[in-house]
């Protein structure tokens, strides 16, 4: 499996890695729900909103689907494989009906949106189908499904942001939290199903965002990741928003750069990250705001997708190879220590060996610390599916992906080697996976670093200076600076 060579907060980073929520006080609720999430960080954040709605309506969480009254699966449609994984898992989860014949199964998220009633009618796999903008209607849909009717709501909204709902943090490390700042996407990259499954772009009220971040900080969190399909096009205009939050009282519009600063000012001990940026929208204003605040992490996920101007045009990415390279240079000029990562698709329609080489050379130019790499998977209904033939044979797509992955491994290793001997401020996230004698944390540049606990009085959520003594392709190894 070549996809996703690393694990961070981004589209499909946790794909296939299901999780169940923490168990809250079981006596406080009369019913139990179980939820599993697939796909991007937005989906994981949405599940926390769903958990909050369900808690309000008498459902407590369980980690064990077999004892649940309600089993939910929050799904991803970005590639065919993501959908296959969910289908397989659904047949497993259906076993809940053996233990509890009254249990209900619901599909949430992008697959629900894409396949709509097909799930209920043809496949008879589930009792409820709920799209990403319809989670407020879950209690009503549950009541409907309880009477034996099939319940569907896949309406997309122009203004739903769930701004007023406080997410219930699920399976969190208690240090880093996701905060959704906008929903949907207006970009229409030709390969992408997201604009169809998540609808039009809309920005969430900045006051509710800042409040959520402050609440997280007060609960011990030390890092927030502001989430959106395209965070740089965040734009909130007071007049168009609710008067109860100050809209229409002469407040200025809020750009992403403004929002970043507002969140950075919550507390200097709160790290701020964001994902995902579109190269066409990330402004100098954002870069200067990042440079100005020490607690805004020096790391940008800047998906390139392809290094060929011709392919980029077919992808409807709206930038050229040269324009992208100039953007990378600008980032490095303003923040020479900035970490950079990318998303790359190999074998998009008509891609030649020369186009592929252009992708390889733009990777070298950008010196990505990490990339998420995929071979092209045609998605029904997208612009590319309608306009172009999926004409690159699978073995060619995979061979090119293999080459891209090998190059990225070399670039990641090179980037880590450059950090040898340097000292970084690290936020401790918890024990290292391998040993509870070691801490695991991240540098501002989003690199994972592992180091011995030693005798210091440290805990997760603390900052510590760590000197890099060794590295692998994916991880830095260090020692606490006395």
How far is Cα 211 from Cα 90, in angstroms, rounded to an integer?
36
- Residue stretches of the annotated binding site for [4Fe-4S] cluster: 40, 76, 110, 185, 189, 192
Select from ligand 5AD, ligand SF4, none the partner in contact with residue 374, using the beta carbon and a kind-dependent cut-off of 5 to 8 Å.
ligand 5AD
Two structure tokens written together for 18: 């299901």
Closest CA to 297 of 276, 275, 271: 271
Rule CB under 6 A: is residue 11 a binding residue for ligand 5AD? yes
Nearer to ligand 5AD, 10 or 467 (CB): 10
Residue whose CB is less far from ligand SF4, 194 or 270: 194
Give dist(CA 430, CA 78) in Å, integer. Answer: 31
- State CA 109 to chain mean position distance: 14
The residue count for binding ligand 5AD (CB under 6 A) is 13
Q: One symbol per residue from 317 to 356: x for binding ligand 5AD (CB under 6 A), - otherwise; what is it?
A: --------------------------x-x-----------
Helices (H), 376-446: 383-387, 394-418
377 binds, among ligand 5AD, ligand SF4, none (CB under 5 to 8 A by kind): ligand 5AD
> According to the binding rule CB under 6 A, does residue 411 interact with ligand 5AD?
no
| Candidate ranges 90-98, 218-226, 260-268, 373-381; the one touching ligand 5AD (CB under 6 A) | 373-381
21 secondary structure, DSSP code: P
Angle at 368 between CA 443 and CA 260, to 5 degrees: 55
Report the alpha-carbon distance of residue 371 to residue 417 in Å, rounded.
Answer: 17
Cβ closer to ligand 5AD: 215 or 403?
403
Stretch that binds ligand 5AD, among 178-186, 306-314, 374-382, 447-455 (CB under 6 A): 374-382
Q: Judge if the upstream peptide bond of residue 276 is cis by omega within 30 degrees of 0.
A: yes
State which residue, 145 or 302, has the beta carbon closest to ligand 5AD. Answer: 302
- Of 65 and 319, which has the nearer Cβ to ligand SF4? 319
In angstroms, the CA 213 to CA 272 distance is 9
Q: Which residue has the tokens 């990330």?
A: 282
In whole angstroms, the minimum distance from the beta carbon of 303 to ligand 5AD comes to 4
Identify the CA nearest to 478 among candidates 457, 460, 454: 454
Taking the CA atoms of the chain, what radius of gyration do you get in angstroms?
22
Between 416 and 455, how does the x/- string for binding to ligand 5AD read (CB under 6 A)? ----------------------------------------
Q: Is the Cβ of residue 74 or residue 258 nearer to ligand 5AD in the bound state?
A: 74
Least distance (Å) between residue 74 CB and ligand SF4 = 17
Closest CA to 384 of 350, 356, 355: 350
- Residue selected from 169, 379, 397, 447 as contacting ligand 5AD according to rule CB under 6 A: 379
DSSP 8-state symbol, 23: P
Query: Judged by CB, which is closer to ligand SF4: 79, or 447?
Result: 79
Q: How many other CB atoms are found less than 10 A from the CB of residue 39?
A: 26
CB of residue 378 vs ligand 5AD: minimum separation in angstroms? Answer: 6
* Residue 207 contact, options ligand 5AD, ligand SF4, none, Cβ 5-8 Å cut-off depending on partner type: none
**Minimum distance, C-beta of residue 244 to ligand SF4, in the bound complex (Å):** 30
Complete DSSP assignment for 282-326: --HHHHHHHHH-TTB-SEEE---B-S-HHHHHHTT----HHHHHH
By the rule CB under 6 A, 303 interacts with ligand 5AD: yes
Compute the distance between CA of residue 446 and CA of residue 429 in angstroms, rounded to an integer: 12
Chain residues binding ligand SF4 by CB under 6 A are 185, 187-189, 192, 194-195, 229-230, 278
Binding partner at 409 among ligand 5AD, ligand SF4, none, C-beta below 5 to 8 Å by kind: none
- Choose the contact partner of 75 out of ligand 5AD, ligand SF4, none; CB within 5 to 8 A by kind: none
Of residues 33, 162, 191, 424, which one binds ligand 5AD by CB under 6 A?
191
- The piece of 47-55, 220-228, 256-264, 375-383 that touches ligand 5AD (CB under 6 A) is 375-383
Give the other-Cβ count within 10 Å of 456's Cβ.
Answer: 12
Task: Locate all alpha helices (DSSP H) within 315-352, ordered by sequence.
Answer: 321-334
| Residues 387 and 313: beta-carbon distance below 8 Å | no
> Token digits for 450?
């592992």
- With the C-alpha atoms ordered 28, 32, 36, 41, is the resulting torsion angle positive or negative? negative
CB of 187 or CB of 245, closer to ligand SF4 = 187
Question: Considering Cα of 18, then 38, then 11, then 44, what sign does the dihedral take?
Answer: negative
Residues that bind ligand 5AD (CB under 6 A): 11, 78-79, 191-192, 303, 305, 343, 345, 374, 376-377, 379
């Amino acid at each position: 499996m070549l996809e996703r060579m690393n694990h961070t907060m981004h589209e499909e980073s946790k794909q296939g890695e299901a999780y169940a929520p923490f168990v809250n006080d079981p006596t406080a609720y009369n019913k139990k729900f179980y939820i599993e999430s697939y796909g991007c960080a937005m989906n994981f954040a949405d599940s926390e909103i769903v958990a909050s709605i369900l808690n309000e309506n008498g459902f407590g969480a369980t980690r064990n689907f077999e004892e649940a009254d309600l089993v939910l699966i929050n799904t991803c449609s970005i590639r065919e494989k993501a959908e296959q994984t969910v289908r397989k898992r659904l047949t497993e989860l259906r076993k809940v009906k053996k233990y509890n014949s009254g249990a209900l199964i619901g599909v949430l998220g992008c697959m629900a949106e894409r396949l709509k009633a097909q799930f209920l009618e043809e496949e008879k796999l589930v009792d409820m189908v709920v799209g990403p903008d319809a989670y407020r209607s879950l209690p009503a849909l549950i009541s409907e499904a309880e009477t034996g009717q099939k319940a569907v709501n896949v309406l997309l909204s122009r203004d739903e942001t769930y701004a007023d709902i406080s997410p219930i943090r699920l399976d969190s490390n208690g240090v880093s939290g996701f905060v959704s700042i906008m929903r949907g996407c207006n970009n229409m990259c030709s390969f992408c199903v997201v604009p169809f499954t998540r609808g039009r772009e809309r920005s969430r009220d900045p006051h509710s965002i800042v409040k959520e971040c402050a609440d997280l900080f007060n609960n011990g969190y030390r890092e927030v990741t502001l989430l959106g399909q395209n965070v740089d096009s965040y734009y909130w205009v007071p007049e168009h928003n609710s008067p109860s939050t100050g809209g229409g009282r002469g407040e200025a519009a809020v750009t992403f750069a403004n929002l970043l600063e507002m969140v950075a000012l919550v507390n200097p001990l709160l790290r701020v990250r964001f994902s995902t940026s579109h190269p066409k929208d990330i402004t100098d204003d954002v870069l200067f705001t990042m440079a100005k605040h020490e607690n805004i992490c020096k790391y940008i996920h800047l998906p390139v997708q392809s290094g060929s101007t011709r392919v980029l045009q077919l992808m409807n990415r709206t930038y050229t190879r040269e324009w992208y390279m100039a953007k990378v240079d600008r980032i490095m000029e303003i923040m020479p220590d900035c970490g950079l990562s990318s998303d790359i698709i190999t074998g998009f329609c008509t891609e030649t060996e020369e186009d592929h080489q252009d992708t390889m050379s733009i990777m070298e130019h950008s010196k990505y610390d990490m990339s998420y790499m995929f071979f092209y998977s045609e998605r029904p209904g997208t612009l590319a599916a309608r306009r172009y033939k999926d004409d690159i044979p699978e073995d060619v797509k995979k061979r090119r992906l293999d080459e891209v992955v090998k190059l990225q491994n070399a670039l990641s290793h090179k980037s880590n080697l450059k950090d040898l001997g340097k000292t970084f401020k690290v936020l401790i996230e918890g024990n290292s996976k391998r040993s509870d004698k070691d801490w695991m944390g991240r540098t501002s540049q989003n690199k994972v670093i592992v180091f011995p606990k030693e005798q210091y009085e440290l805990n997760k959520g603390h900052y510590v200076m760590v000197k890099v003594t060794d590295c692998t392709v994916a991880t830095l190894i260090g020692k606490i600076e006395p």
